[in-house]
Structure formats: structure tokens, C-alpha cells
Amino acid sequence: MQGVSLDLAGKAALITGGARGIGAETVRLFCQAGARVAFNYRQSRDRADALAAECGGYENPPRCLAFEHELSSPADGRALVEKTVAAFGRIDILVANHGIWLADDAPIASMAETQWRRTLAVNLDAVFGLVQAAAGHMQQQAAPAEDQPRGHIVLISSTAGQRGEAFHADYAVTKGALISLTKSLSTELAPRGIRVNCVAPGWVATEMSADALADCKRGPAILAGIPVGRVAHPREVAGPVLFLCTPLAGFISGEVLNVNGGAVLVG
């Protein structure tokens, strides 16, 4: 019996925040599935270059490209999409994975306006520019085979976007907005052949969450709220993202896929 393949051969993908954590594992999986992948980074040049090389960056033509590119405005998002299209000639998949979360608690009564504005700029404003440009290109590209999507957009939200997060209202607001954006874009773009879905991770073992998970009080409390009994590995989030961009998920649109070990049901 022939096996089932999660095949993205011939597809061009842009994955934001791809140099580390969930983004890096998503880059690896997409390249393993046959896609050409572009990703951005802001500071981790050595890590980004190593990942691109690992995933085919030195092939001719290259299968994986790393762009040093800030994402904190709609214009930044649009410009990154244009870089991807210039490199690959098209864009079939957008995974908006980048984002910031400050580990230090910030009560709403004392949260700095600069923190609020910065979080919204990176986590939300840049995503608007990304999806605006990507959807425009996807709609102009030649239609694929019958019943096959013209393109895929996956937004990375969080359990915080569904149930909130005390002392991190800035982050929770942006992740909740991405869920609403997913539903709005799905209704608008599904008739045009573009599938828009959302993956909402819970706690994942990444550099961004390392301090909180290592805290002697907070760490055990976090684990106690996860029925599976542990935090996720980045690849366990990247896998569902990959699935949503394959033909096997061609009839899924507007979905919020929780990847949190059951935590969203008990919090």
C-alpha cells in the first residue's frame, strides 16, 4: 500500500520569524515537503544563514532564502512579500509566525504605552501588510487544478488570544485579533480559492518562553494547567501548520486549530 505524502512540491512559501523556535521547525518541514521557502529574521543572522544552508540555500536555484527584514508596520509586511515574489516568481503560502511577548508582567495600570504600541505594531500591523500583499498576488496567479486552493494563509495565534492572559494584555489582544482576522479573511477569500486558517499554540519550549518555564513558581503552575503534562516541542506546532497547507486540508477554511495539549479547555 502506498503511503500518504504531505507534498508541497512546486509551492513557494513565506514563513515569518523563521530563524528559531516554531518558525525554524516550520521552515525545515516545508523544505522537506518540497516547497521553496523564504523566511525573515531580525537579529539572528548566523542562525538564519545556517538554517537556510541546511535547507537548500546553496542549491542552484536556492530552495531556502533568509531575509534580514524588520516587521513592525504594514509597509514592512508588504515589502517582505515582494522580496519573496521577486525571488521565487510567486507566493503560494504565507505563514505569519513572527511575534513578540515580553516575559515580565505588566499590569494594565502601569503598562507603558510604548510597550502596547510596539506589540501591536509587530504582532498585528505587520500581519495586515503581509496578508494584504500575499492575497493580492495569490489572486493574480494562475488557477491550479480543479478543486485545489489557489493559496494558503496560516496565522499563528495563541491560547492567550482565546482566554486572555493577565499582565500580558498587549499580547493577548493581538493574538485574539488574529483569530478574528482569520475568520474575516476566510469568508472573503475562500470563494477566491485562498484558504485562511489559524494555529493557536499553547506553551512551547522556545527561547521566548524559556525564562517563564524555568521559573521555580511559574513553571510548575504552567505545567499543572496542561492535561498532556508537558509543553509542546516546536515541531509539534510546525506539523499542523504544514498539514493546513497541503491538499489534504483543501476543504478547511476559517478554522482555529488548537495545539496546546488540551490547556485551552481547562484554563
Scan for cell 541546511, then name that residue: 54
* Cα 154–Cα 155–Cα 159 angle in degrees, nearest 5: 125
Choice among 171, 196, 201, 226 that is catalytic: 171
Report domain 12-265's class. alpha beta
Q: What is the pLDDT of residue 101?
A: 86
In order along its 267 residues, the chain shows pLDDT tens digits of 677 778 999 999 999 999 999 999 999 999 999 999 999 999 889 999 999 999 988 788 899 999 999 999 999 999 999 999 999 999 999 999 999 988 788 899 999 999 999 999 999 999 999 999 999 999 999 877 777 889 999 999 998 888 888 999 999 999 999 999 999 999 999 999 999 999 999 888 877 777 777 777 777 877 777 888 888 899 999 999 999 999 999 999 999 999 998 887 644
* CB distance 161 to 117 below 8 Å: no
Alpha helices by DSSP H, listed for the chain, are: 21-32, 45-54, 74-88, 113-120, 126-140, 160-163, 169-189, 207-214, 218-224, 234-244
Would you give the DSSP letter of residue 232? B
Parse the chain into domains and list their residue ranges.
12-265
**Active-site annotation holds for 171:** yes
Q: What is the pLDDT of residue 267?
A: 45
* Cα gap 49→83, rounded to integer Å: 17
CA distances from 81 to 18, 85, 232 (A): 14, 6, 29
* CB distance 16 to 98 below 8 Å: yes
